[in-house]
Structure 1
Amino acid sequence: MTQNYDRDELWQFPCEICFKVMAVNRDGIDMEVAEVVNRHAPNDYSPASKLSRDGNYVSLSFMVVVETKEQVDAMYREVFTVEGVKMTL
């Protein structure tokens, strides 16, 4: 049986999360996503990246310290404004 959890009950702010983005692989996508993340959780980010088997997509992972639920929500919303972003985890 699957149990649903409310993230507010699981996360105790401030906390560090892994913010993962799946996107079309194109020049500069990593820096554009990093700019969004930096606006919401300022730091000097160098994301871990992994290409898909065919090289068409890239997974970008950022370890981010967040202070509030609203900060997390805003970061997830804004990252979808970057052209080519397909999914976040």
Structure 2
Amino acid sequence: MESKLNKLLKFPTPFTYKVMGLAQPELINQVVKIVQNYIPGMYTPDVKISSKGNYYSISIKIIATNSEQIETLYKELSNIKSVRLVL
């Protein structure tokens, strides 16, 4: 079965993940480490802190080479214990 992403995107393509989770210092490093495991490189995520300081919003940009890569990273990032949402 062909992924809908293959129909919508032309690879390689820039792709941004937004990871929202509890404001724990290790969260940023965990996100970067997971991305680097699948797509080696240097990443500088954009991090925003919620108004009450309880949550981080981490945006990280990659160059995706196929839809499986995108789907795998969604699953892996979602498995981080302190993550609440991956967009």
Candidates 48, 56, 61, aligned match of 2:46? 48
One-letter code aligned to 1:63: K
Q: Which runs of 5+ in 2 are unaligned?
A: none
Which residues in structure 2 correspond to 1:51-62 (within 5 Å)? 51-62=49-60
Q: Which runs of 5+ in 1 are unaligned?
A: 1-5
The CA distance in 2 between the partners of 1:42 and 1:60, in whole Å, is 18
Report the TM-score when normalising by structure 1.
0.88
The CA distance in 2 between the partners of 1:83 and 1:58, in whole Å, is 14
Alignment-derived partner of residue 3 in structure 1: none
One-letter code aligned to 2:49: L
Candidates 20, 23, 48, aligned match of 1:22? 20
Alignment-derived partner of residue 67 in structure 2: 69
The CA distance in 2 between the partners of 1:66 and 1:7, in whole Å, is 11
Q: Which runs of 4+ in 1 moved over 3 A?
A: none
> What is the CA distance between 1:8 and its match in structure 2?
2.5
User: Larger % of helix: which?
Assistant: 2
CA RMSD across the alignment: 1.0
Report the TM-score when normalising by structure 2.
0.89
Candidates 18, 25, 35, aligned match of 1:37? 35
**Alignment partner of 1:28: what SS?**
helix
Number of aligned pairs? 84
